Amino acid sequence: MYTLLTHNDLDGVGCGILAKLAFGDKVEVRYNSISSLNRQVEHFLERNDFSQNLLITDLSVNEKNEEGIEEFISRGGKVTLIDHHVTAIHLNQYDWGYVAVEDEEGRPASATSLLYHYLISQDFLSPSQAADEFVELVRLYDTWEWDRLSIQDAKRLNDLFFMFSIEEFEEKMSARIMNSEKFTFDELELKLLDIEENKIDRYIRRKKREVYQTFIEGECAGIVHAESYHSELGNELMKEFSHLDYIAIVMVGGKRISLRTIHDHIDVSKVAARYHGGGHQKASGCNLTQEGFSLFVEQPFLIEPLKADAFHNRYNIKEPETFCLFSNHNQDTILISREAEKEWRLEINKELIGIYPAFSDAERVVKRQYSAWLVRDDLYVEFLRKKYVEKK
């Protein structure tokens, strides 16, 4: 008999589906949040039930449970932990720990893909095209490679996951893997997914007006309060406000913070670790601790939200032949002008701030230090008109 303790997201539920395909009614699957796993492991170890093989996937245990598992195994117990988060790499020191950030082909791994290969290697599960395709879609979504490779079916699988209960999703996906040659969406699901995609787009457009910029521990963070679509929201907000180091998606009701970035210079798993969390370099999470509440909720409360750059401009555009105009909530007049062939001049209220080798360098200062945005064409034209009148 087996007990599987796994995460309650798509990757964790993917592990549950594979375990049920491999072991049938001989496995009990329990889905956990990050914060609840260690309590579940403690309860399992306290029962001293050596007839049960414990599997843990997509989550890692704390130091107390590391010691408890070692002691349990020394008395004849069986435990296997399979994970892909860099914050769990240290568990490879144990015989029961298997943590791999990348697969054998050098691609980012997911817990579902690692468990799939483990089950096949142990002759618990036979591979199939449908299973291969399902596992790959889960991997693509969980590692966010779907966005880089533009594989929309991976995102659609995650959208579908949130449209059903875990039990319904398990049942549907298991039946499809067992009974279909290929893994595809049916006609009803495609219609539902089109509706959901429009709903997500509207939600993201609204949340783009609710981002608050502040510096936390020397890093420029964008804070947004949101309960849904964290991966899509975090990715779109980082693209819109790319000067930020990371986006913090705060859920006060659930007492959680979800962290996202698109940059290589920042590791949000290290940010999460400050608040007893963890995850991947570009996608992590943590509990909303009292310290986190002060930094991410209380202190930024009076800050005005960021405004996005005007995006239909014909005249006030970035990297212009002459200059472009920015403003902020202080109504500062901010100009980035071409100083020489490869130099850009930054002025704020007619005061020289600096000369920069690239437009992006000047823009980064404008956005990070002055929370400014590119103004609309009508304001730009009005600025030019006033400037012309002053010269006459």
User: What tens digit of pLDDT does each residue of 310-335 get?
Assistant: 999 999 999 999 999 999 999 999 99
Report pLDDT for 179. 95
For 174-218, what is each residue's pLDDT tens digit? Answer: 999 999 999 999 999 999 999 999 999 999 999 999 999 999 999
Q: Is residue 91 part of a domain?
A: yes
Q: What is the mean pLDDT of residues 269-283?
A: 89
Asked whether residue 276 carries a pLDDT value surpassing 90, the answer given is no
Reported confidence tier of residue 392, pLDDT bands at 50, 70, 90: low
In this structure, how many other beta carbons lie within 10 angstroms of the beta carbon of residue 208?
18
Residues 341 and 268 in one domain: no
- The Cα–Cα gap between 345 and 26 comes to 69
Does residue 312 fall inside a structural domain? no
Residue 10 in any domain: the answer is yes
Other Cβ atoms less than 10 A from the Cβ of 356: the count is 19
Give the β-pairing of 323-327 and 334-340.
antiparallel
User: Do 213 and 170 have their domain in common?
Assistant: no
What b/e sequence results for 252-264 when a residue is b if at least 16 CB atoms lie within 10 Å of its CB, and e otherwise?
Answer: eeeebbbbbbbee
Q: Look up tokens 């690692």; give the residue.
A: 114
Q: Is residue 303 part of a domain?
A: no
Structural domain contains residue 21: yes
- CATH number for the domain that contains residue 101: 3.90.1640
- Number of structural domains, the chain? 3
On whether both 283 and 352 belong to a single domain, the answer is no
Q: Are 96 and 80 in contact (CB under 8 A)?
A: yes
CATH number, domain containing residue 279 = 3.10.310.30
Q: Are residues 261 and 152 in the same domain?
A: no
Co-location of 135 and 95 in the same domain:
yes
Domain membership of residue 271 (yes or no) is: yes
Of 260, 259, 264, 300, the closest CA to residue 277 belongs to 259
Higher per-residue confidence, 212 vs 389: 212
Considering the domain architecture, whether residues 117 and 6 belong to the same structural domain is answered as: yes
Please report the pLDDT score of residue 217 as a whole number. Answer: 94
pTM, to two decimals: 0.77
Are 144 and 211 in the same domain?
no
* Distance separating the N- and C-terminal Cα atoms of the chain: 89
Inter-residue contact 45 to 72 (CB < 8 Å): yes
Residue 202 lies in a domain: no
Residue 379 lies in a domain: yes
Instruction: Give the CA distances from residue 47 to residues 50, 57, 72, 110, 375, in Å, rounded to whole numbers and listed in that order.
Output: 9, 20, 10, 30, 64
Same domain, 181 and 211: no
Same domain, 253 and 218: yes
Q: Is the pLDDT of residue 391 over 70?
A: no
Residues 152 and 77 in one domain: yes
Judgement on whether residues 240 and 341 belong to the same structural domain of the protein: no
The span from the CA of 147 to the CA of 135, in Å, is 17
Domain boundary among the residues 298, 332, 362 is at: 298
For residue 390, pLDDT over 80 is answered with no
Q: 19 near 28, Cβ under 8 Å?
A: no
Q: Are residues 285 and 368 in the same domain?
A: no
Is pLDDT above 90 for 236? yes
Query: Average per-residue pLDDT in the chain?
Result: 94
* Cβ atoms of residues 249 and 277 within 8 Å: no
Name the residue range of residue 213's domain.
Answer: 207-298
